[in-house]
């Protein structure tokens, strides 16, 4: 068993224990393995261990990694999620190469993704990123503006609105972590309660990472994004 095999097993055990503690059914929380900065070989190792969904923050790096994986293991059907900021000049790459875009925080980006999604591909799955901390320098729409954005995004062709995503600041205790995640969960449930057209597959609450996945599951997360817990500590290179 490889290190990545063992790490995946431990993460799945943590998720199962968190579900049990929250009184939720096993399997109600999906694992998104965050593979940013790790090479195609690491993704391949995780895929051989059964992982199929991968999250990437750096769009150009991700597209190159996807090509490397297709050459390395053409038979593997992997699912790719963009979980980093999406600038206007990167929407075409996201629309053409990813299966999900979890960080839609303004209508302009959603419109470009819709327009640029190739007709031969299935619709792009999208989540609204919500800034639950209110920090001016953080990505994400404010909680009070999220429902209006979600309704506008849900009308766009070539996109399917799947849910809400958040990346709160670190918090020192389980209770503080859970309180932050509950803010995102409240936004998710508020949007769902609006009942506007386009919510037929609105089922994803993407929150929780290596350090706080238990609190996220307790708050209702349906997808946790785990990087270092699967692949180990990252070494960041300087980026221009």
Convert the pLDDT of each residue in 129-164 to its tens digit: 999 987 666 799 999 999 999 999 999 999 999 999
Farthest CA pair distance, the chain: 48
Encoded tokens for 69:
């994986």
Q: Which of 188, 202, 83 is nearest to 132 (CA)?
A: 188
H/E segment holding residue 140:
none
CB 33 within 8 A of CB 230: yes
- Summarised one tens digit per residue, pLDDT across range 68-109 is 999 999 999 999 999 999 999 999 999 999 999 999 999 999
Region for residue 134 given its phi and psi (left: phi exceeds 0; alpha: psi -120 to 50; beta: otherwise): left
Alpha helix (H) residue ranges in 73-145: 91-97, 107-116
Question: Sorting pLDDT into bands at 50, 70 and 90, what band is 240?
Answer: very low
Buried b / exposed e over 40-58, threshold 16 CB at 10 Å, is bebbbbbbebebebbbbbb
């Amino acid at each position: 068993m490889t290190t990545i095999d063992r790490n995946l097993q431990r993460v799945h055990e943590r998720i199962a224990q968190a579900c049990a503690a929250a009184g939720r059914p096993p399997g109600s929380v999906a694992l998104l393995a965050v593979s940013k900065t790790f090479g195609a070989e690491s993704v391949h190792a995780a895929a051989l261990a059964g992982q199929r969904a991968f999250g990437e923050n750096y769009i150009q790096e991700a597209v190159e990694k996807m090509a490397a994986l297709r050459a390395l293991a053409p038979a593997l059907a992997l699912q790719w999620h963009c979980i980093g900021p999406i600038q206007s000049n990167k929407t075409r790459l996201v629309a053409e190469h990813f299966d999900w875009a979890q960080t839609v925080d303004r209508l302009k980006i959603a419109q470009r993704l819709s327009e640029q999604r190739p007709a031969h591909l299935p619709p792009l799955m999208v989540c609204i990123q919500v800034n639950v901390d209110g920090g001016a320098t953080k990505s994400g729409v404010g909680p009070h503006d999220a429902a209006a954005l979600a309704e506008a995004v849900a009308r766009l062709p070539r996109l399917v609105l799947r849910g809400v995503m958040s990346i709160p600041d670190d918090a020192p205790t389980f209770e503080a972590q859970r309180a932050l995640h509950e803010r995102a969960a409240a936004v998710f449930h508020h949007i769902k309660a609006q009942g506007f057209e386009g919510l037929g597959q609105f089922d994803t609450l993407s929150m929780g990472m290596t350090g706080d996945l238990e609190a996220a599951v307790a708050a209702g997360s349906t997808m946790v994004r785990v990087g270092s817990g699967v692949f180990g500590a990252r070494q960041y290179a300087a980026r221009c």
